[in-house]
Amino acid sequence: MKKLQTTEAYKYYWKFTTERQNIFFNRIENSNELFYTFDPILQQYKFTNAYRASDRVSQFLIKEIIYKDGNYSENDILFRILLFKLFNKIETWQYLEFKLQDI
C-alpha cells in the first residue's frame, strides 16, 4: 500500500483548525479577554466555531426553528430549516415572524 503524502495545505489546514479550537476554549475559560489568539487573521475575521452547533446562529436555528413549541410536522420543520438557511440571519427570521406570525 502506498503511503500518503502530507501537503503544505494539509498542514496549514490543521494549524488553522487547531488554533480555531483553541479560540473556542479560550473564550470559555477567559470570557473577558479582548483577544483569544495572537493570529492577526483570526483576530480580525470571524469564522465558524470549531463546534458548529455552538455558534450563535446555529443555536438560534436549533432552539427557535427546529425545536420551538414542538408542534410542527416533519415537513414543516424541514420547510422552516430550509427557509432559514436561505438567508441564515437571525434578524431576517425575526422580521418574517413579526410580519407573518407563525411560519
Please give the chain's pLDDT, 103 residues, in tens: 778 788 999 999 999 989 988 888 888 888 777 778 889 998 888 777 767 777 889 999 999 999 988 789 999 999 999 999 999 999 999 999 999 988 8
Alpha-carbon distance of 103 to 92, in angstroms, equals 13
DSSP code, position 13: H
Q: What sections of the chain are H helices per DSSP? A: 8-29, 40-44, 56-60, 74-87, 90-100
Cα–Cα nearest to 21, from 9, 13, 33, 32: 13
Q: Which contacts (CB < 8 Å, 24+ apart) does range 74-77 have?
A: none
> 30 near 36, Cβ under 8 Å?
yes
Q: Is pTM beyond 0.85 here?
A: no
Q: Please report, as a single letter, which amino acid is at residue 83.
A: L
